[in-house]
Amino acid sequence: MSQTLAAVKGMNDLLPGEIEIWQHVEGLARELFGRFGYGEIRTPMVEDTALFVRSVGEETDIVGKEMYTFDDKGGRSLSLRPEGTAPAARAYIEHSILNQEPLTRWFYTGPMFRYERMKTGRYRQFYQVGAEAYGSKEPAQDVEVMDMVAQFLQALGLQDIALNLNSLGDEACRPAYHAKLVEYLKAHIEELCGDCHRRMETNPLRVLDCKNPKCQEVAGKGPNVLEFLCEPCKAHFDDVQRKLTALEIKYVVNPRMVRGLDYYTRTVFEFIASHPALGTASTVGGGGRYDKLVKSLGGPDVPAVGFACGLDRLVLLLKEGTRKFGASPDLFIAVADPGSQDTAFTLASKLRREGLRVDFDTRGGSLKSQMKRSDKSGARFTLVLGEQERTSGEAKLKRMADGSLIPVSLSGLAAAVREHSATEVAQRGNAT
């Protein structure tokens, strides 16, 4: 017997019944981000490996341990994208966008890939929605991005999500903090894991991002990055906080927070959910400023700020609620006898052309089994078509909510379904 094939571990199928939640989240993102003036981009899922080495950082876990990297038939090293910011920056440079507009706002959505230990809401093929803003170094741009995320999460109806905020400084003030951090870490080197011994030499900020509990404990008692900020960075961070307060966006300053990518400067932030469905994987979105990324990839010296939200985790949170997603059929057509099958099939096609969502079981079967399917589908109305209905051109529309019967003509069926659907919606609205 041949072995049954299954999806690759950590790469999941999205099926009807769940995909409607994904479509809702993605549709809401497109609508809301459009209000902020962000246009959608789509970049390839495969990029030159060097793009991520140069941007994300060679010493990060993403590049060192998690990327899906392979040589193609031409001997080029390619990688499935592990995140969306670097590909967007590459596209910004390649298409000379700066020459077309001084301020650029983009958003994207799609799958990313990392070979990592899986846990709740974290998979090897995972999905993100994110945005990037190029051309503005102002604190207002940082806050606009955070405001957009906050409004997005609020529009999804998610509760108990806290904004954590920090500043990592820049090339003027970060070296002094690095030196102090390394001095502190060397004094506690015996308490750190082997990976952090290496990180301490290559990029000490990575120690702060280690998931080892002992390393986290050591890092939590280390020097405070905010105490090392130069005046321009401090002024930038203070203005970010003032603007967040003006927008009534609550936040917590968390000086121990860093992001897992090397390109961040100054502002970094995370939106953290308090919900048992996520367990310890509580970050649903995050980002920050990366003013030197575009230049480091060979482009112009353009400041930028952006974010990404994990769609897998957002969908998990929405599944915990009671809200139903996706549109049910407007009408289910059942047949009372085999002779009505062709007429019902033709009628269903006609009504779909007129804009109705129509369910119809092409297998036929007993009327009882068809009515069970209608009930399961959630259809608002059911029409039973038999010889009498075909001959007279008249039928009865069954309202599934209460079982009442509404006389209709087959020629005016689409209009009748729309009329009675509108009446039903209006009645529900008045009741509430």
With tokens 């779909």, the residue in question is 352
**251 is an annotated ligand-binding site residue:** no
> DSSP labels for 97-116?
GGGT-SSEEEEEEEEEE---
**132 is an annotated ligand-binding site residue:** yes
**What values do phi and psi take at 70, rounded to 5?**
-155, 160
Residue type, 403: G
Cα separation of 421 and 150, whole Å?
A: 35
Neighbours of 221 (CB within 10 A): 9
φ/ψ region of 403 (left if φ > 0, alpha if ψ in -120 to 50, else beta) reads left
**263 is an annotated ligand-binding site residue:** yes
**114 is an annotated ligand-binding site residue:** yes
**352 is an annotated ligand-binding site residue:** no
Structure tokens at 238: 């203070």
**264 is an annotated ligand-binding site residue:** yes
Alpha helices in 251-340 (DSSP H): 293-296, 311-319
Crossing angle for the helix pair 19-35 and 311-319, to the nearest 10 degrees: 120
Q: Residue 285 forms beta bridges with which residues?
A: 271, 309
**SS3 of 181, please?**
helix
Cα separation of 158 and 163, whole Å?
A: 13
**259 is an annotated ligand-binding site residue:** yes
In degrees to the nearest 10, what's the CA dihedral of 207, 211, 214, 220? 60
Cα separation of 238 and 290, whole Å?
A: 18
Cβ burial, residue 101 (10 Å; 0-12/13-18/19+): exposed
Cα separation of 147 and 200, whole Å?
A: 35
Residue type, 277: A
- Per the CB < 8 A criterion, the answer to whether 270 and 288 are in contact is no
Q: How far is CA 314 from CA 4, 81, 161, 347, 396, in A?
A: 31, 21, 11, 40, 43
> Binding-site residues for L-histidine, please?
83-85, 114, 128, 132, 259, 263-264
> Binding-site residues, please?
83-85, 114, 128, 132, 259, 263-264
